[in-house]
Amino acid sequence: MSAIEVEGLEREFKGGLKAVDGIDLRVEPGEVYGFLGPNGAGKTTTVRMLVTLLRPTGGRATVAGFDVAKQPADVRRNIGVALQEAALDLLMTGREMMELQATLHGIAPRSVRGRAAELIERVGLAQAQNRRVGTYSGGMRRRLDLAMALIHEPSVLFLDEPTTGLDPLSRTTLWEEVRRLKNEGTTVFLTTQYLEEADQLADRLGIISGGRIVAEGTPAVLKAEVGRPHLDITLLDEGDGPGDLARAKQVLERFGGERPPSEGCHLSVTVERGAADIASVVRSLDDAGLSVASLELVQPTLDDVFIAKTGRHLEGGSSGDAPPEEPAEPEPAIAAP
């Protein structure tokens, strides 16, 4: 049985806006599944449907074997959730928040304190546990949020952009925790807009744009689909620029195709075997009497994958022609009488 199974999932808001437009995916137990896409792609809407905060308007989904629409209470018993906003009560202490969460998840009263203390220790908040959450840094709040999501040892954990806004150190700490969870067998559904995060953590990725999955697979396979690594080479200028460039192109033909642009002392060439070809390239250029000033191996990125599938950059972008994640006012607020 898959940990998460989604077929034709849709979410349409009033006015015909389709934030999620027919998604199919499957996540196996113990897998870290990365859900990658720009702002407005439909990531958060998808997560909110899978954690039963939003009802799908089409398709079906099961989490931990339970239907999200028909068996939401069972779904909630088996999932841990850390949403995009670290929804914490700033006036409570870390310990109080953990103990409340333990109570809400039905942990026996005599076990609440112990379990809360255990998780607090695990995420490195023991020193701060009796301080109000309002005094915590962003990274500390995220760690508390994660600890709360794990209090009942869920089989499936949803992390919605867990490192957005965090400093590099906090981000790394959180990544280590995700890896640890994976080693413990927890299924993790992780949404992110950061390429490096997806690359580092995910066993498999789904790339979403405009409410649809445009690519799915392991990071390596996805990247290999769209390109090979290339070398950006700058030759030492020893007087005969055009001549040197021409000879370099000739020498490097056997490694792979030339990539534009080549001008002056710079050229770029695809290398089929990546880093394994570097030594041979340098030796060949040296044999031809050409000296290398600098050399950089550039791997295809998930951004390259995204561009190949959508024609747009992933990082720093948003789904320009897609509907927003959720409309600013999905339902009209009642006016005061």
Partner 1 sequence: MPFVARVSLALSRRALVNAMRRPQLLLPLVLIPTLMLAANVGGLNRTTTLPGFPAVHGFLDFQLAPAMTQSLLFGGVAMGVAMALEIEAGFFSRLAVAPIPRVAIVLGRLGAASAIAVIQMLWFLSIGLIFGAHVKSGLPGLLVTFGIGIVAGVAFAALGVALALRARNASTVQGIFPLVFVSLFLSSAYFPRNLLTSPFDAIARYNPLSYIAEGMRDPIVNSLSAQPVLEGLAAAAGLAVLAVGLSVVTLRGRLDEA
Cβ closest to partner 1, residue 159 vs residue 267: 159
- Asked if 111 touches partner 1 (CB under 8 A), the answer is no
What's the order of all strands across the beta sheet hosting 58-63?
Answer: 18-27, 4-12, 58-63, 66-67
- 131's CB contacts (< 8 A; 6+ apart) are 93, 94
Phi/psi region, residue 81 (left: phi>0; alpha: psi -120 to 50; beta: rest), is beta
CA-atom Rg of the chain in angstroms: 25
Smallest distance, partner 1 to C-beta of residue 54, A = 5
What value, to the nearest 5°, has the Cα angle with vertex 23 and ends 58 and 18? 60
Site string for partner 1, 78-107 (x = CB under 8 A): -x-x-x-xxxxx-xx---x---xx-xxxx-
- Asked if 279 touches partner 1 (CB under 8 A), the answer is no
- Asked if 334 touches partner 1 (CB under 8 A), the answer is yes
Tokens standing for residue 138: 């962003």
Question: From the list 73, 169, 279, 328, which residue makes contact with partner 1 (rule: CB under 8 A)?
Answer: 73
Cβ closest to partner 1, residue 114 vs residue 242: 114
Question: From the list 1, 15, 16, 109, which residue makes contact with partner 1 (rule: CB under 8 A)?
Answer: 109
Q: Are strands 32-36 and 266-270 parallel, antiparallel or unpaired?
A: unpaired
CB 232, CB 296: distance < 8 Å: yes
Site string for partner 1, 120-159 (x = CB under 8 A): ------------x---------------x-----------
> Is residue 304 helix, strand or coil?
helix
Smallest distance, partner 1 to C-beta of residue 81, A = 5
CB 147, CB 122: distance < 8 Å: yes
What value, to the nearest 5°, has the Cα angle with vertex 25 and ends 22 and 26? 155
Site string for partner 1, 36-55 (x = CB under 8 A): ------------x--xxxxx
Residues contributing to the site for partner 1 (CB under 8 A): 48, 51-55, 73, 76-77, 79, 81, 83, 85-89, 91-92, 96, 100-101, 103-106, 109, 132, 148, 331, 333-337
